[in-house]
């Protein structure tokens, strides 16, 4: 099971990233858990200074922007 973490305080961009990530995971048929990390100290612990961010299994894949659905699919399929 992949652990997908949305890193951000819950702003509109964070919510959009969560939607895109969930759509990509479902399209790929992944077994996943989506977790929203909203604590600033925890987000900074990932080394992320600009939100939103996406971490897959604890590893930051993208931050500071909302990637396209195709980009997220590509990130999740690796």
pLDDT of residue 1: 94
Q: Is 11 a catalytic residue?
A: yes
pLDDT of residue 60: 98
pLDDT of residue 78: 80
User: From the candidates 11, 34, 40, 44, which is the catalytic residue?
Assistant: 11
Token pair belonging to 65: 């922007």
Instruction: List the pLDDT tens digit at each of the 78 positions of the chain.
Output: 999 999 999 999 999 999 999 999 999 999 999 999 999 999 999 999 999 999 999 999 999 999 999 999 999 998
pLDDT of residue 50: 95
Q: Is 72 a catalytic residue?
A: no
Query: Are 30 and 77 within 8 A, CB to CB?
Result: no
Which domains are assigned to the chain?
A: 2-76 (3.40.30.10)
Strand partners, 55: 5, 60
Instruction: Read off the pTM.
Output: 0.94
User: From the candidates 4, 6, 7, 14, which is the catalytic residue?
Assistant: 14
């Amino acid at each position: 099971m992949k652990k997908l973490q949305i890193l951000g305080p819950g702003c509109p961009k964070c919510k959009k990233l969560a939607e895109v990530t969930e759509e990509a995971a479902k399209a790929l048929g992944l077994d996943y858990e989506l977790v929203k990390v909203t604590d600033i100290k925890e987000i900074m612990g990932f080394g992320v200074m600009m939100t939103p961010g996406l971490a897959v299994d604890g590893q930051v894949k993208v931050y500071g922007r909302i990637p396209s659905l195709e980009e997220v699919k590509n990130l999740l399929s690796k």
